[in-house]
Amino acid sequence: MDDSTDPVLFERDDGVALITLNRPHEGNALAPEMTRSLTQIWTRVKEDNSIRAVILTGGGERHFCTGASVGKLGVGQGGLHNLPYADVNRFTSRMMAVPQPVICVVNGLCNAGGLHFIADSDIVIAHNGVQFLDSHVDVGQVSALESIGIARRAGIGAALLMGLVGRAYRLSAERAHQLGIIDLIEPTAAAAMARAQELARAICANSPQAVALTKRAIWASTELPDPQALQYAWELLKSQWAHPDFDEGPRAFTEKRSPNWNPDPNARR
């Protein structure tokens, strides 16, 4: 891809895909062309069984994502269409029901709409210099969707503090880590990316189907109450019994060799 024009860059190295938000001139803001490109890329990832893990980050050195492009805000533009939620919001991995694990590397300031990626990624890594804020109300917008995601990760208090105060309050990486908004904190942006690559490679060594079902079961716990969440997780667990990886894992362990996983989610024993 042409780095100078594409709003999102896509690369891959064996089973790991790297997605980079590529509008550093505007703080990697979510312009309509970026969200459209993300929808296309997530579709590509979903359909490619050879991709085992994804790393998402921002281009440049100052910003991860500063939210929606304010100059392009308007009803009927970008994601502001009077349509059902699922028809409009299709730019994060969770919105697109991507089965592969997604590791978000926050390499700079994260604001407002950028919090969608934090809320919807499976693992979030940041470095010490990163800050988080939510400036929706400063520009007359409602912080709703991403705030719900932050509340699920960190509790309602953190979401209310950020959402109501706006740009006057910035959450440090250290505090975000304490609250669970981010999962791992590293000293530098380079160290954060290196850690993400390490984790992605570890994920690639595991059964793709077992990983996908594990991800689905854990996320379902944020949407379903007990006992429905446990019942749903039990059905996912049982479904793996029919997959070839269910036999391959113990066999490889016994034979002291690396397993030969089957990436086809529809494969049967």
- How much is the pTM? 0.94
Q: Give me the helices (H) in 107-188, please.
A: 115-120, 145-154, 156-165, 173-179
Give dist(CA 145, CA 120) in Å, integer. 11
Spell out the domain ranges in the chain: 8-204, 208-254
Q: Render pLDDT for 173-217 as a digit per residue (tens, 0 to 9).
A: 999 999 999 999 999 999 999 999 999 999 999 999 999 999 999
As a whole number of Å, the CA-based R_g of the chain is 19
Strand partners, 142: none
Q: Render pLDDT for 146-165 as a digit per residue (tens, 0 to 9).
A: 999 999 999 999 999 999 99
* Residue 151 and residue 163 in contact, taking contact as beta carbons nearer than 8 Å: no
Q: Chain centroid to CA 15: how far?
A: 17
Is there a cis peptide before residue 227, judged by omega within 30 degrees of 0? yes
pLDDT in tens, the chain (269 residues): 445 689 999 999 999 999 999 999 999 999 999 999 999 999 999 999 999 999 999 999 899 999 988 766 555 566 666 778 778 889 999 999 999 999 999 999 999 999 999 999 999 999 999 999 999 999 999 999 999 999 999 999 999 999 999 999 999 999 999 999 999 999 999 999 999 999 999 999 999 999 999 999 999 999 999 999 999 999 999 999 999 999 999 999 999 999 999 999 999 99
CATH number of 8-204: 3.90.226.10
Give dist(CA 241, CA 132) in Å, integer. 42
Find the helix or strand (DSSP H, E) in which 131 lies.
strand 131-133
Characterize the bridge pairing of strands 102-106 and 63-65: unpaired
